[in-house]
Chains A and B, each alone.
Chain A
Amino acid sequence: MALDHVIERSDFDELFGALTRHGYTIVGPTVRDRAIVYDEIRGTADLPVGWTDEQDGGHYRLRRRDDEALFGYAVGPHSWKQYQLPPQVSLWRARVDERGGLVEVTEPPRIPPRYAFFGARSCELHAMGILDRVLLGGSHPDPVERARAEDVFVVAVQCGEAGGTCFCVSMNTGPVAERGFDLALTEVIDDHRHYFTVQVGSERGAAVLGDVPHQPAAAHERVAAGAVHARTASQMGRELDTAGIKELLYRNYENPRWDEVAERCLTCGNCTMVCPTCFCTTVEDVTDLGGEHVERTQHWDSCFTVDYSNIHGGAVRASPRSRYRQWMTHKLASWWDQFDSSGCVGCGRCITWCPVGIDLTEEARAIRESEERSDADD
């Protein structure tokens, strides 16, 4: 582990300059439409300076802080998924000849910018790894995503406070990022100073840091950063008992709790849109009016849509109950059998952005407790 360094708040913009000079397009958090989203940013002024977020089931509000922290909030409705798996991708174009045949199939070139992900949290680094296992780990790895994943520069930020719906501690995905970044920052604000400890995670990271004014971290500065990490870990808004959770859910496909949550779930799919690991897509062929040209696009879909599981005859999962059950059991249980890990990183977005505040940690708890109750009855 590299010795920590320190960057002063007054020098923070130099980090943006260094990344730009190294050829990166910087994307990071910024305030828009009363939320903190990810978009291209150019400097410190674009960051949500002095903002924090108030999150709970079905609740998200931005509030002013009483300090000028650059990263004093958790995660918003966006995740880095939109760069790994863009919401809309043109797969290929073709011409339809006079016999109705598909000819001249061409793939449009997909050359994404060299991104620097600025402000990625530990849960998000885990989420990116999980999503890349899906996109790159199978028989047909996506070459565009592979190139992007190799090229991306990651400036991680160790969370200074937990969000109201966070449970990364339960999922072993945070709050401290230990790998998967080029640089990792911890923001420290006390009465006298505002600075950032910096941990270097790669040679590339060291090279960029070399262009930014910095000093080695003193012992008390490292201690202060450690205190920030410990404080965040103690503030988790939610908890999920993951002991044997795959088998627990596999045993409980007919648990009456699913009927109960089905009465609340609107199958709106918000949870799948904001989840950093949900990867379901749909393809669509679009022709021009004359039927002479066709384009196939791939775009985000959700297992909550009623025709998502259509086979000849109708949907396999017609009821909202079966669709909620599919989402939650996939995320927490069958993801293990499909991709060798949990699908959940404990970021809490699905809880915050559900319009009726359905909380999968609460649902999992209810199912586990219903088993304990019936065991007690035996």
Chain B
Amino acid sequence: MQTIDELIAQASVFTGLDPRHLELIAGCAANEHVEEGAELLREGKPAERFYLIRHGTVAVEVHAPGRGALTIETLHAGDAVGLSWLFEPYRWQLDARALEPCALIGFDAVCLRGKLETNHELGYELMRRFTANLVERLQATRLQLIDVYGRA
């Protein structure tokens, strides 16, 4: 039976995090299970809770009237769902929805932001990791944008 610290460390964004820091952020975390179709994030809502995926698939989406929910990307075991909790104005930019029953670790973002404010060493560590995650996602999005398969 793994501890929550051990489970958090399995997420790619937290791999190799100092055990002291792991313990600190675990204080804001809890195990969660959601059903297929569960809405994790909603565009425009305050970014109060973000997730790490232990098992399952989550779709990041934008809803367009007449076209329904458009999938931007899918996230899987080890991925973090929700990045805007770290950056002002702390509101979600997109929707996220569970495509199947998922085992997640949910983080109270308000709690965690509070800890980052007082512990700048922890703050720097998390900023470093999440920014790297962001850059990776940005690169991937750029590749998607140029529609590599579209032009002959």
Contact = CB atoms under 8 A, between A and B. Distances in A.
Interface of A: 310-316, 318
Interface residues of B, number: 5
The 5 closest A-B pairs by CB, nearest first: A313-B66, A311-B66, A316-B65, A314-B66, A313-B67
Contacts of B145: none
Contacts, number: 15
Contacts of A314: 66-68
B101 to A, nearest CB: 18
Contact of B68 (A310, A312, A318): A318
A314 B68 CA distance: 8
B43 to A, nearest CB: 14
Contacts of B66: 310-316
Contacts of A311: 65-66
Contacts of B68: 314, 318
A313 B67 CA distance: 6
Contacts of A316: 65-66
Interface string B46-89: 00000000000000000011111000000000000000000000
B90 to A, nearest CB: 22
15 contacts: A310-B66, A311-B65, A311-B66, A312-B66, A313-B64, A313-B65, A313-B66, A313-B67, A314-B66, A314-B67, A314-B68, A315-B66, A316-B65, A316-B66, A318-B68
Contacts of B65: 311, 313, 316
Contacts of A310: 66
A313 B68 CA distance: 9
A310 to B, nearest CB: 7
Contacts of A313: 64-67
Given A311-B66, A314-B66, 6 more contacts: A312-B66, A313-B64, A313-B67, A314-B67, A316-B66, A318-B68
A87 B99 CA distance: 44
Contacts of B67: 313-314
B88 to A, nearest CB: 27
Nearest to A319: B68
Contacts of A318: 68
A309 to B, nearest CB: 8
B150 to A, nearest CB: 19
A316 B66 CA distance: 4
A210 B18 CA distance: 100
Interface in B105-135: none
Contacts of A312: 66
Contacts of B64: 313
Nearest to A314: B66
B97 to A, nearest CB: 14
A34 B68 CA distance: 44
Nearest to A310: B66
A342 to B, nearest CB: 27
Contacts of A315: 66
A35 to B, nearest CB: 39
A366 B9 CA distance: 45
A322 to B, nearest CB: 11
A217 to B, nearest CB: 59
A316 B68 CA distance: 8
A315 B64 CA distance: 10
B1 to A, nearest CB: 32
A50 B22 CA distance: 83
B67 to A, nearest CB: 5
A33 B66 CA distance: 41
B45 to A, nearest CB: 12
B66 to A, nearest CB: 4
Nearest to A315: B66
A49 B64 CA distance: 56
A307 to B, nearest CB: 11
A314 B67 CA distance: 6
A310 B64 CA distance: 13
A222 to B, nearest CB: 58
Nearest to A313: B66
A310 B67 CA distance: 10
A316 B64 CA distance: 8
A95 B132 CA distance: 66
A316 B63 CA distance: 10
Nearest to B66: A313
A92 to B, nearest CB: 29
A310 B68 CA distance: 12
A366 B100 CA distance: 29
